[in-house]
Amino acid sequence: MFQKRPVNPVRVHHPIPPGSEAPFAEPGLQHGFDAIIAPMVSLAEEGLHHIIRVAFDGTHGAHFQSVLQKTLETLENKGYTVLVMGTNSFVKTSEKLRSHFTQNITDNRSFGYFTEGTIENYFRPHAKHEASISMTDVIAATQTPRFPTFIITFGPGAYWLGEGMFDISYFLDVSREYQQMEHKQGLLNFGFSWNRDDVEKYKISLFVEWPIFETYRKKTLDYIHYYIDMNQPRDPVLTTTHTLRQMILSVAKAPMRVKPFFAPGVWGGQFLKEFADLPENWANCAWSFEPIAPENSIILEYEDKQIELPFLTVMHYEHPSILGERLVKLFGDYFPIRFDYLDTINGSNLSVQVHPKQEYVRNQFNEFMTQQESYYIMEKKGDTTVYLGLTEQCTKERFYEGVQTAQETGVPIQLTDYVNAYAAEKGELYLIPTGTVHASGKGNLVLEISSTTWWFTFKIYDYLRKGLDGKPRPINIDHAFENIDFYKKSAWVEENLIPIPTLLLAQGDNEEYVLGQRDDLLFYVHRVHLHNTWKDNTEDEMVMYNLVEGEQVRIVSCVDESIFVEFSYAESYILPASFGEYKIINLGNKPCKLIKAGVSKAWDVSLLET
Q: Convert the pLDDT of each residue in 436-450 to its tens digit.
A: 999 999 999 999 999
Q: With 0-12 CB in 10 A as exposed, 13-18 as middle and 19+ as buried, what is 588?
A: middle
Q: What is the pLDDT of residue 610?
A: 47
Same domain, 466 and 538: no
Under the banding of pLDDT at 50, 70 and 90, the label for residue 474 is: confident
Q: Which of 497, 527, 550 is the last residue of a domain?
A: 497
449 falls within a domain:
yes
608 falls within a domain:
no
**CA 436 to CA 417: how far, in whole Å?**
16
CA torsion, ordered 264, 266, 267, 270, to nearest 10 deg: 40
Same domain, 506 and 492: no
Q: Which of 218, 250, 282 is the last residue of a domain?
A: 250
CATH code for the domain of 195? 3.40.50.300
Which residue would you say has higher pLDDT here, 414 or 13?
Answer: 414
pTM exceeds 0.75, yes or no: yes
How many domains does the chain fold into? Answer: 3
**Bridge-based pairing state of the strands 226-229 and 168-173:** parallel
Under the banding of pLDDT at 50, 70 and 90, the label for residue 144 is: low
- 49, pLDDT greater than 60: yes
**Domain of 173?**
29-250
Q: Convert the pLDDT of each residue in 288-313 to its tens digit.
A: 998 899 999 999 999 999 999 999 99
568 falls within a domain:
yes
| Radius of gyration in angstroms for the set of CA atoms belonging to the chain, rounded to a whole number | 26
- 415, pLDDT greater than 80: yes
- 175, pLDDT greater than 90: yes
Q: How is residue 319 annotated by DSSP?
A: H
H/E run at residue 273: helix 271-275
Measured CA distances, 249 to 319, 320, 396, 466, 577 (Å): 10, 11, 52, 46, 13
577 falls within a domain:
yes
Any idea what the Cα angle at residue 162 is, between residues 297 and 91, rounded to 5°? 75
* Beta-bridge mates of residue 566: 554
Same domain, 214 and 275: no
- CA 518 from chain centre, in angstroms, equals 26
Other Cβ atoms within 10 Å of 552 Cβ, number: 16
- Those residues with Cβ within 8 angstroms of residue 228's Cβ, 6 or more apart along the chain or in another chain: 36, 58, 62, 67, 170, 171, 172, 173, 236, 237, 238
- Name the amino acid, one letter, at 337: I
320 falls within a domain:
no
Same domain, 100 and 129: yes
Q: Lowest mean pLDDT of 2-6, 93-97, 279-283, 368-372, name the range.
A: 368-372
Same domain, 491 and 511: no
Under the banding of pLDDT at 50, 70 and 90, the label for residue 609 is: low
- 559, pLDDT greater than 50: yes
Same domain, 36 and 183: yes
Q: What is the pLDDT of residue 466?
A: 82
Same domain, 353 and 246: no
**CA 60 to CA 174: how far, in whole Å?**
8
Q: Which of 497, 523, 538 is the last residue of a domain?
A: 497
Same domain, 444 and 560: no
| Cβ atoms of 12 and 300 closer than 8 Å | no
314 falls within a domain:
no
Q: What is the 3-state secondary structure (H, E, C) of 55-101?
A: EEEECCCCCHHHHHHHHHHHHHHCCCEEEEEEHHHHECCHHHHHHHC
Measured CA distances, 368 to 15, 332, 395, 449 (Å): 40, 11, 31, 18
Sort residue 257 into left (φ over 0), alpha (ψ -120 to 50) or beta.
beta
Three-state SS for 395? coil
609 falls within a domain:
no
Interval 359-376 mean pLDDT? 94
Same domain, 492 and 510: no
- 431-451: b or e for each residue (b if 16 or more CB lie within 10 Å)? bbbbbbbbbbbbbbbbbbbbb
CATH code for the domain of 341? 2.60.120.10
**CA 518 to CA 63: how far, in whole Å?**
46
Q: Convert the pLDDT of each residue in 94-138 to its tens digit.
A: 999 999 999 999 999 889 999 999 999 999 999 999 999 988 877
Same domain, 538 and 444: no
| Cβ atoms of 275 and 205 closer than 8 Å | no
Q: What is the pLDDT of residue 453?
A: 83
196 falls within a domain:
yes
**Average pLDDT of the chain, as a whole number:** 95
Measured CA distances, 458 to 154, 461, 483, 523 (Å): 40, 9, 9, 21
* Beta-bridge mates of residue 308: 299
* Beta-bridge mates of residue 239: 227
Same domain, 71 and 181: yes
| Cβ atoms of 345 and 445 closer than 8 Å | yes
Under the banding of pLDDT at 50, 70 and 90, the label for residue 141 is: confident
Same domain, 279 and 208: no
- 196, pLDDT greater than 60: yes
